[in-house]
Amino acid sequence: MPDMPDLTRRRLLAAGTFAPLALGATRAAGQQAHGTPLAGDFLLPDRPGEKLRWAVVGLGNFAVGEAIPGFIDSRHARMTAFVSGSPAKQKDLGSRFGVSRFYDYANFDSIANDPEIDCVYIILPVGLHAEYTIRALKAGKHVLCEKPMASTSAECEAMIAAAKAAKRQLGIAYRIHFEPTNVLARQLIEHGEIGDIRFVSADHGFNADPQYGPHKWRLEKALAGGGSMFDIGIYGLNTSLMALGREPDELSARYIYPRDDPRFREVEGGIEYRLRMADGVSVVGSSSYSWNPYISQQRYMGSKASLFMKPATTYNRNTITIEGNGPTREVGAGNPLTQFAAQIDAFSLAARANTPHKTPGEMGLRDIRLIEAMYRSADNGGEIVKL
């Protein structure tokens, strides 16, 4: 049949003119297409109306560049509100992400009356974590709070108490627990790929620029809570304990930064630490605000091989190299950008069931207690602190 104008073709198809011809040409008489049930347990995304509804508190660089895009790929969550002191930023981001409910810090408590908010993601400077987490919990919302949890262990304890009183879930945003390469590293260790772990090292740092906005507040104790260990060193601490699956019984630490550097009048600029486990395994780590270039690396030494990660805890590129027990080899995992969606989804499911999140408030409290012990040790010349 010669080609025909598209309009004519559409009319004939609509009238069923081609149906008998197609049937005879493509299948035997009596042959029919049938729907079949799905033969598997598929992880399907929630329907839009079933996704948990989130308010994002704080619209800084990290929120806009890393956390908020995670909602785009989320299966169980959607953003419904922004909390910020910048109406212009709210309006701009709201138009981009389909968010139209806006709050500022003065009327924040009125989220209690908003049925379109189930969960709150606190992405503020550390010094504000406790206040806004507790206020959100009192408003009846589940809370995922960025790391580090708070400025002091006393604040962490108050946050946990508020969650229990409100009967809501509190999670700390330790994204590394959801980052594919770190998840794979933990699985390799658990499955004996390097044998028994004998030693762990962790080094994380960058050169802080007080003229750069995202760095400036990190050098102010009222907002940052602490120094480099609070901000960048906590990655090595938390990730090492995640891989080991156990906690130390003593530690020691020393400061490792120029004490006359004006950047560090309020917070520590660098620290080295050693955690000791009851079975003899040690974790030796360091963090700094005076290193160049940026560094993020973890090494796990085992009885059969070692597992080295550099970079180890970045947003978009992490690697694993296994040395020993055969040829040196590199292994990879999935796209690291999925860590934010995976973290948001995991907390959404925990909130829906009202069961503890994978990285709960108690984990955040543990890490702040350990960092406080490091500072006590460093203040006393590196003395051993029993835990």
Tokens of 350: 């925990």
pLDDT of residue 28: 53
Task: With CA atoms as reference, report the closest residue to 267 among 313, 231, 318, 309.
Answer: 231
pLDDT of residue 44: 77
221 has catalytic annotation: no
147 has catalytic annotation: yes
Task: With CA atoms as reference, report the closest residue to 134 among 170, 106, 179.
Answer: 170
How far is Cα of residue 206 from the mean position of the Cα atoms in its chain?
20
pLDDT of residue 99: 98
Catalytic residue among 141, 147, 174, 289: 147
Q: How far is it, in rounded angstroms, from Cα 126 to Cα 230?
A: 9
Q: Name the amino acid, one letter, at 310.
A: K
Predicted model pTM = 0.89
Tally the C-alpha atoms within 13 A of residue 181's C-alpha that lie toward its C-beta: 24
Q: How far is it, in rounded angstroms, from Cα 208 to Cα 212?
A: 8
pLDDT of residue 337: 85
pLDDT of residue 334: 76
| Helices assigned H by DSSP within 191-326 | 213-216, 221-224, 228, 234-244
What DSSP character marks residue 69?
H
pLDDT of residue 48: 81
Does CATH place domain 177-334+361-386 in 3.30.360.10?
Answer: yes
Pairing outcome for strands 52-57 and 197-207: unpaired
pLDDT of residue 42: 63
Catalytic residue among 132, 235, 255, 375: 235
Domain 48-175: top CATH class: alpha beta
How confident is the prediction along the chain (387 residues), in pLDDT tens digits per residue? 333 333 333 333 333 333 333 444 445 556 677 676 666 666 678 988 899 999 999 999 999 999 999 999 999 999 999 999 999 999 999 999 999 999 999 999 999 999 999 999 999 999 999 999 999 999 999 999 999 999 999 999 999 999 999 999 999 999 999 999 999 999 999 999 999 999 999 999 999 999 999 999 999 999 999 999 999 999 999 999 999 999 999 999 999 999 999 999 999 999 999 999 999 999 999 999 999 999 999 999 999 999 999 999 999 889 999 999 899 999 977 788 899 999 999 999 999 999 999 999 999 999 999 999 999 999 999 999 999
Q: Name the amino acid, one letter, at 43.
A: L
Domain ranges of the chain: 48-175, 177-334+361-386
Tokens of 117: 């908010």
How far is Cα of residue 181 from the mean position of the Cα atoms in its chain?
13
Task: With CA atoms as reference, report the closest residue to 285 among 294, 297, 293, 277.
Answer: 297
pLDDT of residue 118: 98
